[in-house]
Structure 1
Amino acid sequence: MVEWRRIGRGVRQVPEPWATPLIWTVAYLGAFALVGLLGLLGFLDRTGFALMVLSLLAGLLGMRGRFTAAPGTALLCWTCLNVLGTEPTGELSWAGHRDPGWMACLFAAAIIGTITGRVLHARAAYRRVTPFDEPA
């Protein structure tokens, strides 16, 4: 048997994603700070570790951003890693055996973070919809 109920107290919407320029600003500043910190701690000789840390940053930013912000987020993180984390330091270079994989890893992290964020927000909004029981 189907029982009809009114939904009460309104439905809170899924949180609005952050604006793309804000995501890109946080990505650049965060990547710059993380690569600088890894350099101070002596971890830049292992670029795989730096790539993992920047991928986590891209994924976390993806959880708050839109899909359109993912390519720029990946590019900004890659630029900071390329310029500050690899030799020659301070120069933008392209290593055909390494950089496409790095960019793909950062882009995948940003996309996976965005998908995860959208699903988590949608599930939370779905759970907030509760039936309204009128007093008898």
Structure 2
Amino acid sequence: MLEWKPVHFGRRPVPELSATSSVWAVSTAATLAVVVSFDLVGRQGGTTAGLVVLSLVVALASTGARLAAAPGTALLCWAVLNAFGAPPIGEITWAAPHDPVRIATLLAAAATGTAAARIAHARAAYGRLNP
């Protein structure tokens, strides 16, 4: 099968996006690290402070992702947070008042990180292309 690939000379105007599976792996590992560090300090990762720190980590991990990866990123990070950061530890449960807020917060963080990175890359590419 013949596959056409564009030939690029010099610098690319916009960086290539990361694979969705790579973004999911990095964000899940980062979430696990944040939740474990909160547990070692003696605070649970399911608290408001833990969710804020986790949202920042998710936004940072989503900077190289496609926007379509945001829902999966949010659900994977929520599953890690729910299993290891919120009581009962070691079980995935559904707490009706808290979990929809956690999922929405993580989804907003992933989408914001992706959109901010795309806008920054587009502005930088526009500046390189126009004198």
TM-score relative to the length of structure 2: 0.87
Gaps spanning 5+ residues in structure 2: where? 1-8
Match of 2:84 in 1: 84
Displacement of 1:130 in angstroms is 4.3
The structure whose Rg is larger is: 1
Encode CA deviations 1:58-101: one digit per residue, 9 max, x unaligned. Answer: 11122111011101111111111111111110000001111001
CA gap of 1:46–1:84, structure 2 versus 1, over 3 A, is closer
Match of 1:93 in 2: 93
Q: Percent identity?
A: 46
After TM superposition, where is structure 1 displaced by more than 4 Å over at least 4 residues in a row? none
Gaps spanning 5+ residues in structure 1: where? 1-8, 132-136
Any idea what SS the aligned residue of 2:97 has? coil
CA gap of 1:45–1:77, structure 2 versus 1, over 3 A, is closer
Any idea what SS the aligned residue of 2:44 has? coil
What is the number of residues matched between the two proteins? 123
Structure 1 contact 78–103 (Cα < 8 Å) conserved: yes
Displacement of 1:40 in angstroms is 0.4
Matching of residues 3-82 of structure 1 within 5 Å: 12-44=12-44, 47-82=47-82
Match of 1:6 in 2: none
TM-score relative to the length of structure 1: 0.84
CA RMSD of aligned residues (A): 1.7
Q: Which has the higher contact order (CA 8 A, sep 6+)?
A: 1
Match of 2:4 in 1: none
Any idea what SS the aligned residue of 1:51 has? helix
Structure 1 contact 44–86 (Cα < 8 Å) conserved: yes
Q: Which letter maps to 1:38?
A: F
